[in-house]
Structure 1
Amino acid sequence: MSAKDFLFELGTEELPPKALKTLSDALESEVRAGLAALLGEETLKQSVFTSYAAPRRLALLVTDLATEVAESRTLVQGPPANIAYDKDGNPSKALEGFARKCGASLDQLTEVNGKISFEQVNPAQPVAPLLPEIVTQALDKLPIPKRMRWGASRAEFVRPVKWVVMLFGDEVVPCEILGHKADRHSRGHRFHYNEPIELFAGREYVAVLKEKGKVLADFAERRELIRSQLLGEATRVGGQVVIDEALLDEVTALNEWPVALTGRFEERFLEVPAQALISTMADNQKYFHLLDDAGNLMPYFITVANIESRDPQQVIEGNEKVIRPRLSDAAFFFETDKKRSLESRVDALKKIVFQKELGTIYEKSVRIGKLAALVATQIGGDAAQAERAGLLCKTDLVSEMVLEFPELQGLMGYHYAQNDGEPEEVALAQNEHYMPRFHGDELPQSRTGIAVAIADRIDTLIGLFAINQPPTGSKDPFALRRATLGVLRIIVERELDLDLRSLLEAATAQYSGLPAQDSAAEQVLEFMLERFRAWYEEKGISVDNYLAVHALKPSKPLDFDRRVRAVAHFRTLPEAASLAAANKRVGNILGKAEQVGTDVDEALLSGDSEKALARQVTALEEQLLPLFQSGQYEQALEALAGLQAPVDRFFEDVMVMADDNAVRNNRLALLQRLRNLFLGVADISVLAA
């Protein structure tokens, strides 16, 4: 089958930088899906897809694309053969209607598997005329939250469209896309080569744009060029550039012909907390900051220009002029904020509503403080400091710096608390209570920070559930799932012996009159324990290990985690499968019994198998009790693995449901004690074979 290269390029005004890569990937995915539906996956395997994305263009090159859709045959089935003709041999109306539908004569119809059928031949057809529709549908499916119109056009896209290139081989595919007729003319760099560039072959696209148009169309190539330039500039001034990958992607999406340049700012600004300066440079100006060998911020920044200037010093000076007033603002806010203590800002929180049914930020802070004191007491922290830190933990929200740079909340609270002379742990908690801020983020270190972090999240969880606003499948406006995982991570990774149920009940007691308050603690507990499922799936631990522990609903996260890990270890033992099956069998037997006790009468035991199992169960009850109490679940399950042989022999030799009621009940009691031993860790009967 013959093949040609297919090139599509959509030229636009500057595309949203944070969405550029997403749009490019989606365009490739949708066009690929359209071509697969047309040609079939097997035919499409010979083709190679390459996406290109730059500030003013989205492009896709498909090399070795089949030039035609191969002939195919489709069997269309109609009415049953036994009703196709009447008793006189005349065709029925159903048969005639089927023939008309297929555009066929009666003699072209055949019988297949008892039904009148027609083999429809789909002739081969050229691919080129079908490409515009595939591209149009792909563009319509791009993840664009809000489309726009421009001029008198009725076309809609994320930005105004300026040109369209569509080549199949060396020929233009005639069509109109988003109000523009396709041709072979791309455009060069807005400043270096703002002229049409004629294209004759898709494979020349990247090279022609680069050499003639001063445009690097390949997103990955551009990103790595910027990275190398950043590293080179940092070396030149003796620093280490901090390359945030999200910022690098954004800068890559802003530049077609990137050139990194290093600027400088006044050292007096270094008296401002470094993160404030970094936020100013990164968020507002898209600059990269530099650190010295000791990890301290240096008075330099690296900007990436979209032009190769003949006088780069002018570009540098222009950026220095822009950043100076922004850094001056940060310095002014910092100095102004330090004139007032965090404590003096507490009353201002009374005017800020957290949630209309849950009160103000001030009321939330009071609740956080009291709950944090309880947590601190339980984890060996200072209750008074925890309550103080909780009361102050939201006060930096009304500072000038955080109002200007919301992403600095917590960090500025730390600096202002230090300035106020607050105890070090109270100061640390101002920032630490927001940790972890995102998946994989660092956890709070101080006991006070841990207490406030847990209290803040639990208060929010209880409050929202108590007013019947839990997360739904698609909406979680208060990030309750993230809050839950934060609490679980803190407790498990910091190895804290905290009971969620008691904390949730204490948090609930601080509210009054909420519609679902009575059931909130249990609802939140179940919600939080359910989050463990995703936690373990991410760690590669089988979900049935989680289910085995969840069946018991232990409310201490650290204890929950130890049990799950113990079950995962137990699964590696050769006895595991047999004992899991035996536990399932025991569970089924006990489930059918009305009342089962745990008192076993030795006089009613008969046979070596039954007596041997009873002896081992009794011995293990004494041996395992201290292991259960100390949370040594792996050792407990290893000991229980020794029951495999006696349990198997018991079921081979003993009829549990004996006719004699006393004997039957005695055997059920033995099985109940056996099952209770395993339930000291988990319900292993749910483990898959």
Structure 2
Amino acid sequence: MSKDLLVEIGTEEIPARFISDAVNQLATRLTDWLQESKITFAEVLTYSTPRRLAVIVKDVAEKQEDIVEEVRGPSLKIAKDEVGNWTKAAQGFARGQGVSVEKLIVKEIKNVEYVFAIKEYQGQEVEQLLPSVIKGIIQSMTFPKNMRWGNQELRFVRPIRWLLTLFGDKLIPIEITDVKSDFKSYGHRFIGQTVTVPSAEQYKSLLKEQFVIVDPAERKELILKQINDLAAEKDWNVPIDEELLEEVVNLVEYPTVLFGSFKEEFLDIPKEVLITTMKEHQRYFPVEDKAGSLLPYFITVRNGDRRSLELVSKGNEKVLTARLADARFFYLEDQKLEISEAVSKLENVVFQEGLGTIGDKVRRITEVSSQLGNLLKLDENTLKNITRTSEICKFDLVTNMVYEFPELQGLMGEKYSRMHGENEEVSKGIFEHYLPRFSGDSLPETVVGQVVSIADKMDNIVGSFSIGKIPTGSQDPLGLRRQAAGIVQILLEKLNNISLKQLFDLAIEAYEQRGLLKRSKNEILLDLDDFFTLRLKNLMQEKGIRYDVIEAVLETDKNDVKRLVDKALSISTEIDDPTFKNVVDSLTRVMNIATKAEKSDTDPSQYVEDEEMNLYKAFEKLQQNTVNVVDAMEILQQLKALKEPIDAYFNKVMVMVDDDKLRSNRLGLLLSISNYIRQYADFNKLVFA
């Protein structure tokens, strides 16, 4: 027999960003306990609104399964003495397991006999277990931020107002913070009523009657349909920001879409500012025409029905007008600020404690960017644009608009710099130096933006590492992993001629010259190597490259990001070819025997067998053919061509002969070949079925 289990926690309004994780946590804790307790169940359904977290577990068994557990004890030699009596070790083991020694049995594992205690547990009625378990689960839940209320000791995301806990048609009696569980749940705060829920099966439908749609997926679908219907009616285009949509879904219990308007004069403000103001302050969706131009309308979602929608729309318009008036004021005021004046204000803005001001950071970025430009052998005009971009790339941080909307940094810098007469390369570079801002974001398109971007990100990473602020576990408050991933992407797809080592050295030197390193350069370099190695691994995993291929290429020089990834991709195209394993076997045989060599010197005049000379000439030819080759696949094909002379060599030649001179000469040839192979990959890391 089985019953449905329903747990609903009713609260004050929960912040939208906490809801999904919270309800998933409740479901996970419940199902983990059911599994650990040997209680069978079927489907698990999660529901949530701003005022409730709910889980329904379908077909929960009414009784635990009976459990028979075997616990291994000491070996039989220790458990019994010479005459077959139980020893103190056996008696102590049995006592610890709650059984008599007569209940111990003997089993053989890998030719050794052990004693085992057989422990039998009678399954309990689930209904009897649920009250204490559910109470414990609720009280142990964790959240990014907690509250205490009244004189209660419990810390929870928001004050608990009701508890609905049912097993089938029976109430699970629990009490938390003076709130006792009941058959009651609560409808919409303003237009719904209290509802009695007799079973989990009726939970959704009864609450829907009281203007609460408990399924967030259903609310999302309803919002999208209403937006699309409205857009079709008005001949609008409504770009849907998924992040905003998810937030709005978790802000309402009964969504009703409506629209409002604002004065056309506000369209003089940059489109990005208008959209950000609507999204960040009001959670509105912007409206465009079919050509993508912003229209003086917005769409919002009301938490309620369609009554008095016109009044609600007017209220939203009034609030948005005030916000847009502020944005226009900031925009006009910022234009009065000269770039030079803004840059000078950066001297008073702290970058990080111990690392100086933003002004100091700008000087380091300018220095490193100029050196990178020289390494890339860029023309004089581009170098000049790089210098100018680095010098003013942070000026918009002191503007009113970026202070109000930090996410507009770079974008406002681009617009304001263009207004102040900076050229297009510099203006675009100011925006692009923040790219990529998140996983999947676009990369800087101009070389100016690319150079300043990696100089800025490298400065952040080295600065943090220099004072011991290195990301650990899931903690990365400064977003250094994201920035390192951005550097790797730019080096892979844009600036192939810059190595990681060059970047490390330039950024560290900029700090070292100013006496800002709190740790030794070697320590920082080791940490940077480990940190970027993980980023390279992630990059190649995202490209679908096998773990063993990744490990193989990471054993080589990791500084050339493009070459590293190209080698991994080349091996990946060959690794499923059955003949490639034979090639790898030949290459690894050379590598393994070469470990016995002391030096890579070899004298062809001392060769005894034809196969020695043949292998030597094949290797010389490979080196000549690849001296100016950068294509990883072509080099791999050349390596594959070594298989035949290698196999012939080992079929005829005994390497480890007694003659020291002959042995050393043969090992020297193999070490030379091995060193070349290892520059490509450590083929020993590859795994074949």
- TM-score, L = length of structure 1: 0.91
The CA deviation at 1:129 is 1.7
1:67 aligns with 2:71: no
Deviation of the 1:89 alpha carbon: 12
Secondary structure, aligned partner of 2:287: strand
Q: Residues 478-522 of structure 1: CA distance to partner in whole angstroms, max 9, x if unpaired?
A: 322222111111121225321332333233332322243543456
Q: Which amino acid aligns with 1:357?
A: G
Aligned equivalents of 2:32 and 2:329: distance in 1? Answer: 55
Structure 1 counterpart of 2:571? 567
Q: Quick one: structure 1 residues 187 and 476, their matched pair in 2 at CA, closer, same or farther if it must change by over 3 Å?
A: closer
C-alpha separation between the residues in 2 aligned to 1:529 and 1:141? 38
- Name the SS for the 2:680 alignment partner: coil
Give the corresponding residue for 2:110. Answer: none
Question: Per the alignment, in what secondary structure is the counterpart of residue 355 of structure 1?
Answer: coil
Cα contact 2:141–2:156 (8 A) shared by 1: no
Shift, 1:473, TM fit: 3.6
Alpha-carbon offset, residue 88 of structure 1: 12
One-letter amino acid of the counterpart of residue 682, structure 1: A
Per-residue Cα deviation, 1:161-199 (whole angstroms, up to 9, x for no partner): 111111111121222244322121111111111x32111
Maintained 8 Å contact 1:580/1:686: no
CA distance in 1, matches of 2:494, 2:614: 43
Q: Provide the identity percentage.
A: 37
* Matched position secondary structure for 1:359: coil
Change (3 A) 1:317 1:641: same
Does the 8 Å CA contact 1:30/1:141 hold for their aligned counterparts?
no
**SS of aligned partner of 1:658:** coil
Question: How far has the Cα of 1:462 moved from its partner?
Answer: 2.7
Check conservation: 1:341, 1:417, Cα contact below 8 A. Answer: no
* Counterpart code for 1:420: H
1:144-293, aligned counterparts within 5 Å? Answer: 144-193=143-192, 195-211=193-209, 213-293=210-290
- In structure 1, the partner of 2:597 is 593
Per-residue deviation, 1:659: 2.2
Say if 2:46 and 2:56, in contact at 8 Å, map to a contact too.
yes
Write the distance in 2 (CA, Å) between the matches of 1:652 and 1:36: 59
Q: Give 3-state SS (helix, strand or coil) of 2:301's partner.
A: strand
Cα distance in structure 2, aligned partners of 1:465 and 1:20: 35
- 1:454 is aligned with what amino acid? I
The 1:58/1:593 distance shift into structure 2, 3 A limit, reads same
Q: Report the Cα offset of residue 379 of structure 1.
A: 6.4
CA distance in 2, matches of 1:397, 1:12: 39
SS at match of 1:69: coil
> Against the structure 1 CA distance between its residues 205 and 607, is the aligned structure 2 distance closer, same or farther, given a 3 Å change threshold?
same
Greater CA drift, 480-489 or 587-596: 587-596
Q: Counterparts of 1:524-673 in structure 2 under 5 Å?
A: 524-525=528-529, 527-597=531-601, 599-601=602-604, 603-627=605-629, 631-673=630-672
Do 2:597 and 2:664's aligned partners in 1 also have CA atoms closer than 8 Å?
no
- Cα distance in 2 for partners of 1:531, 1:623 equals 33
Change (3 A) 1:490 1:404: same
Amino acid paired to 1:336: E
CA shift digits 1:72-99 (9 cap, x unpaired): 3445788999999999999999898888
C-alpha displacement of 1:475: 3.5
User: Secondary structure of the equivalent of 1:197?
Assistant: strand
Amino acid of the residue matched to residue 427 of structure 2?
A
Q: 2:315 corresponds to which residue?
A: 318
Counterpart of 1:684 in structure 2 is 683
- Offset from partner CA, 1:593-621 (integer Å, 9 cap, x none): 22331x432x4323343333223222222
Q: In the TM superposition, what are the counterparts of 1:389-538 in structure 2 within 5 Å?
A: 389-494=389-494, 496-511=496-511, 512=513, 513=515, 514-516=517-519, 518-519=521-522, 520=524, 523-525=527-529, 527-538=531-542
Amino acid at match of 1:617: F
Alpha-carbon distance between aligned partners in 2 of 1:104 and 1:681, rounded to the nearest angstrom: 62
Q: Deviations over 1:382-439 (max 9, x none)?
A: 1111111111111101001111111111111011001101001111111111000011
Return 5+ residue gaps in structure 1 as ranges: none
How big is each residue's C-alpha offset from its partner over 1:48-86, in whole Å with a ceiling of 9 and x where there is no partner? 111110111111111211111233344578899999999
Distance 1:95 1:577, change over 3 A: closer
Q: Which residue of 2 aligns with 1:674?
A: 673
Distance 1:55 1:230 in 2: 21
TM-score (norm 2): 0.91
- 1:290 offset after TM fit, Å? 1.6
Aligned residues between the structures: 676
Q: Is 1:341–1:416's contact at 8 Å kept on the other side of the alignment?
A: no
- Partners of 1:372 and 1:455 within 8 A in 2: yes
Does the CA contact (< 8 Å) of 1:386 and 1:452 recur in 2?
Answer: yes
C-alpha distance in 1 between matches for 2:555 and 2:91? 63
Q: 1:297 aligns with which of 294, 297, 307?
A: 294
Please identify, of 639-648 and 509-518, the stretch whose mean Cα deviation from structure 2 is larger: 509-518
CA contact (8 A) 2:410 2:434 kept: yes
The letter of the residue matching 1:393 is C
Structure 2 CA distance, aligned partners of 1:87 and 1:574?
58
Relative to structure 1, the CA distance from residue 209 to residue 632 in structure 2 (aligned partners, 3 Å threshold; closer, same or farther) is same
Moved more, 6-15 or 473-482: 473-482
Displacement of 1:667 after TM fit? 1.6
Q: Does 1:4 align with 2:3?
A: yes
SS in 2 for 1:240: coil
Give, as a single letter, the amino acid of the residue that structure 2 aligns with 1:457.
K
Q: Deviations over 1:639-688 (max 9, x none)?
A: 22122122122112211122223322332232133224424533334333
Letter in 1 for 2:628: P
Q: Which amino acid aligns with 2:564?
A: F
Deviation of 1:573 (Å): 4.6
Aligned pairs for 1:27-42 (under 5 A) are 27-40=26-39
Question: How much does 1:101 deviate?
Answer: 7.4
Structure 2 residue aligned with 1:333? 330
In 2, the alpha carbon distance for the partners of 1:4 and 1:411 equals: 57
Taking a change above 3 Å as real, the CA distance of residues 458 and 149 of structure 1, as seen in their structure-2 partners, is closer
